[in-house]
Amino acid sequence: MDSYLSNLLKHLSESETVWFNKKMELIKAAENEKELFFSFSFVQRKIERKEVVVDQRKWFTDELVRLFFILAKEENDPETFYLKFEKLFITSDSKESIALLKSLPFYPYTKGLLNKASEGLRSNVSDIFKAVAIFNEFPQKYFNEMTWNQMILKSLFIDSPLYSIIGIDEKRNLDLNRMLCDYALERIAASRSINPELWRCVTDVSDNRIFSEWEKVFSNGNDFEKSAIGLISKRSKEQISPSYSMLSNISHEKLRYNTWDEIGEALELERKEL
């Protein structure tokens, strides 16, 4: 946590630092949780919201201050911590909820917060969903296959980047493979585009309609789509019928993007520019 604290302090003014340090000491010394709850809700009045990037993930100063307030007092009992988290979560506004969920990997006890993380995934607020899904180790560690798959599908539905989901390659599974192929075929039938990142999670293809679509996309698609088809066809080479010779003979050296992360990062940059 040292890098997080040092990055936070670099973005706080002198008066903000004084207030932050004072509140940390008060929370540590408090006999009950009143000081934590008061300080947690008062952050928005005392801390100017500034962007802070730590370990690839974008945070804001108010989020990190809230995280350190929660961690200020050492907890020896999981149930006590879960109860404290529940109280904070119930009364939180959207920014506070995002801070609570983004911080999941840093809590001393996390397994009992699975329901809250799942609740975040169901939120209609995309930033709350992304607080759980993006650059967060919690889903990889604790989500079962069904919840994980739902997270991937919703990411596609709301156009949230897949490359920033930790464990995206390690947690590929046959059920997700089937759902994504069905989803892709539905979009093909409706003449709708497919997010190129979808193919990253596909490991087994048995429907020739998909191979046919890959050839069309590789012939006429943009650089994102062509690069994705190049990567997935290379991985699926043994499954591709000889009749789809174009897919078997793609020159990967000529692709603009050579990894899934490169595709995802470039797609996200394009979204921001629109």
Question: Lowest-pLDDT range, 55-59, 198-202, 220-224, 236-240?
Answer: 236-240
The angle, 0 to 180 degrees and rounded to 10, between the axes of the packed helices 145-157 and 174-189 is 30
Q: For residue 227, what are the contacts with CB-CB under 8 A and spacing of at least 6? A: 196, 255, 256, 257, 258, 262, 263
Instruction: Give the C-alpha separation, 71 to 31, whole Å.
Output: 15
**Does residue 197 surpass a pLDDT of 70?**
yes
Query: What count of residues does the chain have?
Result: 274
What is the rounded distance in angstroms from the CA atom of residue 128 to the CA atom of residue 46?
A: 23
Residue 106 phi, psi (nearest 5): -100, -5
Alpha helices in 221-259 (DSSP H): 223-235, 245-248
pLDDT, tens digit (0-9, with 9 covering 90-100), for 67-121: 999 999 988 899 999 999 999 999 999 999 999 999 999 999 999 999 999 999 9
Structure token digits, residue 86: 């529940």
SS (H, E, C) 7-23: HHHHCCCHHHHHHHHHH
Q: With contact defined as beta carbons under 8 Å apart, do 106 and 71 qualify?
A: yes
Rounded to an integer, the average pLDDT of 37-57 is 94
Per-residue pLDDT at 229 exceeds 80 = yes
Query: In terms of pLDDT, which residue wins out, 80 or 210?
Result: 80
Q: Is the pLDDT of residue 241 over 70?
A: no
Predicted model pTM: 0.90
3-state secondary structure 156-168: HHCCCCCCCCCCC
pLDDT in tens, 20-46: 999 999 999 998 999 999 999 999 999
How do residues 145-173 score in pLDDT, each as one tens digit? Answer: 999 999 999 999 999 999 999 999 999 99
